[in-house]
C-alpha cells in the first residue's frame, strides 16, 4: 500500500515527496524509481524541519508508535486504516494530535470513493427514505502478501466505517461469525450483523471467494440502491408500492418493474482524492477528512466482534485476550 501512496503523491502538485522509509532495504528500489532518498529508520525524518506531512503505511501494530512519534514532533499524519491495534492507542493518538494542533486522519479510503459520496447524498436527501438495512460484500482471493491481521480487522473495518458513516450513528450490538478456512492462524472469512436500532447492517468479508466482489446494497422506505465499489456505479430503484392499481396487470408491472436509474461517471481513484484532501486540509482548505474518532469507533467495533464473538481465533496483531469460544453471541458495543 505504501507504493500506492508514493505513486499517488508523486502525481499531486501540492506534494513534494521527501523520502521513502522502510526497514526493508528492498524498498530502496521504490525510492530510486521516484528519484527520492531512501531512509531505513523513520526517526531520521522526525521533525517539522524535515517533513510537513507523512503517510504511515506500516503493519497495523506499528501505527501507534510511529504515528505518535511524528505527531509529537508536530508533523501532519495520515495513518492507514485501522487507526491502531487497540482503542486506547487510538485515543492517545487523537489526544496528542489535538494537543499539537496537527492534521490527523485515517486511511478509510472508501469514504473517498465517489460512489459512496453519491450514496451518502441520496441517503441524506431522503431519496431512499428511512433506511432499514445496508448489506456489504467485500470478498475475494487470498492476498499476495500474507495478512498480519484477521479479515475483520483488515477488510470488514472498511464496511463498518462506511455503514456507520452512511447511517450517521454507531451500532448498538454486533452478532458475528467467522472461520479459518484456508489460512491456518487468522480468520479469513467472517459475517457480521450490526444492530443500529432502526436499521441493520450486514457485512460479509473474506479472502476465500475466487472472485473479487465489493458491493453495497441499501434498502429504505422510498427505494433500494445497489453500489459497486470497483466500477463506482450506483443503481437506484424507486419505490412504487402504490396501494391502488387499476388491475392485476398494473399491479404486477408496478411491483416487477420499478423506476430504475443508473448513476455512473468516469471512475476516480479514491486514494488520489483522499491524499489530495489531506493536503488541502493541511493548507487550510474546506475539505472533510475522516475524523480519527470515527476510525477509533470502527476499530472498537471490530475488536468487540473479534473479542466477544470470534474469540477462539486470536489476532496476534490486535493483541486480543483469549476467551472461551461463543458462536453468534450478542454483544453490547
Ligand X SMILES: NC(=O)c1ccc[n+]([C@@H]2O[C@H](COP(=O)([O-])OP(=O)(O)OC[C@H]3O[C@@H](n4cnc5c(N)ncnc54)[C@H](O)[C@@H]3O)[C@@H](O)[C@H]2O)c1
Q: Catalog residues that contact ligand X under the rule CB under 6 A.
A: 1-2, 21-24, 27, 42, 57-60, 62, 80-81, 107, 109, 145, 154
Instruction: Answer whether 239's CB lies under 8 Å from 218's CB.
Output: no
262's enclosing H/E stretch is strand 260-263
Nearer CB in complex with ligand X: 154/313? 154
Nearer CB in complex with ligand X: 23/241? 23
How far apart are CB 301 and ligand X at their closest, in Å?
16
Nearer CB in complex with ligand X: 149/219? 149
Peptide bond into 224 cis (omega under 30): no
Nearer CB in complex with ligand X: 23/252? 23
Nearer CB in complex with ligand X: 103/271? 271
Dihedral of the alpha carbons of 150, 155, 109, 93, in degrees to the nearest 10? -30
Report angle CA 192, 115, 84 to the nearest 5 degrees. Answer: 50
How far apart are CB 38 and ligand X at their closest, in Å?
11
Peptide bond into 82 cis (omega under 30): yes
Place of cell 484532501: 277
Q: Which residues pair with 175 in a beta bridge?
A: 193
Nearer CB in complex with ligand X: 62/306? 62
Q: Where are the alpha helices (H) located in 127-269, listed in sequence order?
A: 151, 157-167, 248-256
φ, ψ for residue 70 (rounded to 5)?
Answer: -70, -45
Amino acid at each position: 500500500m505504501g507504493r500506492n501512496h508514493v505513486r499517488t503523491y508523486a502525481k499531486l502538485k501540492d506534494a513534494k515527496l521527501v523520502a521513502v522509509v522502510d526497514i526493508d532495504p528492498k524498498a530502496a528500489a521504490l525510492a530510486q524509481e521516484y528519484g527520492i532518498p531512501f531512509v531505513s529508520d523513520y526517526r531520521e525524518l522526525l521533525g517539522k524541519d524535515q517533513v510537513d506531512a507523512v503517510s504511515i503505511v506500516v503493519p497495523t501494530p506499528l501505527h501507534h508508535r510511529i504515528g505518535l512519534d511524528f505527531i509529537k514532533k508536530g508533523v501532519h499524519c495520515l495513518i492507514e486504516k485501522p487507526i491502531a491495534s487497540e482503542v486506547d492507542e487510538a485515543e492517545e493518538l487523537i489526544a496528542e494530535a489535538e494537543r499539537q494542533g496537527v492534521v490527523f486522519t485515517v486511511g478509510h479510503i472508501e469514504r473517498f470513493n465517489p460512489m459512496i459520496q453519491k450514496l451518502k447524498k441520496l441517503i441524506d436527501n431522503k431519496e431512499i427514505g428511512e433506511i432499514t438495512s445496508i448489506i456489504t460484500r467485500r470478498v475475494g482471493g487470498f492476498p499476495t502478501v500474507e495478512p498480519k491481521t484477521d479479515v475483520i480487522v483488515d477488510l470488514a473495518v472498511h464496511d463498518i466505517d462506511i455503514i456507520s458513516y452512511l447511517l450517521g450513528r454507531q451500532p448498538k450490538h454486533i452478532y458475528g461469525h467467522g472461520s479459518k478456512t484456508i489460512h491456518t492462524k487468522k480468520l479469513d472469512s467472517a459475517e457480521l450483523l450490526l444492530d443500529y436500532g432502526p436499521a441493520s447492517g450486514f457485512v460479509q468479508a473474506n479472502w476465500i471467494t475466487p472472485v473479487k466482489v465489493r458491493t453495497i446494497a441499501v434498502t429504505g422506505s422510498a427505494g433500494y440502491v445497489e453500489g459497486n465499489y470497483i466500477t463506482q456505479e450506483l443503481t437506484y430503484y424507486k419505490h412504487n408500492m402504490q396501494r391502488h392499481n387499476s388491475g392485476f396487470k398494473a399491479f404486477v408491472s408496478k411491483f416487477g418493474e420499478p423506476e430504475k436509474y443508473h448513476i455512473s461517471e468516469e471512475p476516480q481513484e479514491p486514494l488520489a482524492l483522499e491524499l489530495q484532501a489531506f493536503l488541502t486540509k493541511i493548507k487550510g482548505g474546506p475539505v472533510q477528512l475522516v475524523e480519527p474518532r470515527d476510525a477509533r469507533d470502527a476499530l472498537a467495533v471490530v475488536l468487540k466482534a473479534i473479542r466477544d464473538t470470534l474469540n477462539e481465533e486470536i489476532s496476534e496483531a490486535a493483541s486480543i485476550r483469549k476467551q472461551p469460544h461463543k458462536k453468534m453471541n450478542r454483544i453490547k458495543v
